[in-house]
Structure 1
Amino acid sequence: MHNHPNVIAVREALREAGADVADIVILDEAVHTAAAAAAALDVTVGQIANSLIFDADGEPLLVLTSGAHRVDTAKVAASIGVAKLRRATPEFVREHTGQAIGGVAPLGHPKPVRTLVDVDLESCPVIWAAGGVPRSVFPITYPELVRVTAGSPAEVA
């Protein structure tokens, strides 16, 4: 798994961004939900940064949200000025990130994706984000996550 092309892309993107991240951790099993990731890492579900891709009037939007709550799509749509914000299809996600749902990382995509970072994650000393495949994760701080993704802090719930 350490040599999976998506994991390599995420690792390289983290290095290029000068991220203070030790390395990507490969878990024993795939974790497709925040609850499963939290259990595997023995952390709270709020420390998991869900990487959710939305279709924002035809453009990709990545929302990195705390695993402890759901994204309020109407609130987010209004805040970014789009008429329609809906969950992206698996094909749309793969087209814009090169990654499959369940393993979408905050970075390492073929092209930059507009990103919002949930302000609720700021209270966590360590956040765990997906590393490109459903078995890979990495620890990062909130300021570092915002910086390496060029994300905008936002209230998303």
Structure 2
Amino acid sequence: MNLFHATSDTEHLDRETHALFGHAVEGFKWPNGGSAYEIGQTPHLLRPFKLWSTVAGVLAAWLGPDAVRPIDWPADSHGPSSPAVGAALMACTRTAQRAGGEAGALLTGVLNGSTSYTRFCGLVPDTGPWSGYLTYTTLRHLTLCADTP
């Protein structure tokens, strides 16, 4: 099981961590040995998350570099912002068109829910379990995110 929680106020970070984890928080080790407050105050300690390059990389391993063009994808630094989600959705549409045939239909199926995760895993070369899962779940939710203001 995974738990994700975010707060915009670092003053509440320790309190909320305690509320979420109870007494287990005493055994929790933060990156670089810091506390929740220190990590919240020093975002440079956290590694940047490579969402879009990971998704594009998995698709390129599956569909080939001719179908997946890096220039179509948003920069990782844009994160899951509304403009980035819109750009990624457009990139998927272009990628499906370039891939064509069954591969393009299966990619479109990931977006609309008709291609299952099991089927997706059978199609995509081994890029590691995290990368494949991240790609499928990100693509599966692009349309939903694009519809959300």
* Fold-level similarity (TM above 0.5): no
**Higher share of residues assigned strand:** 1
Choose 1 or 2 for highest CA Rg.
Answer: 2
Higher relative contact order (CA 8 A, sep 6+): 1
Q: TM-score, normalised by structure 1?
A: 0.23
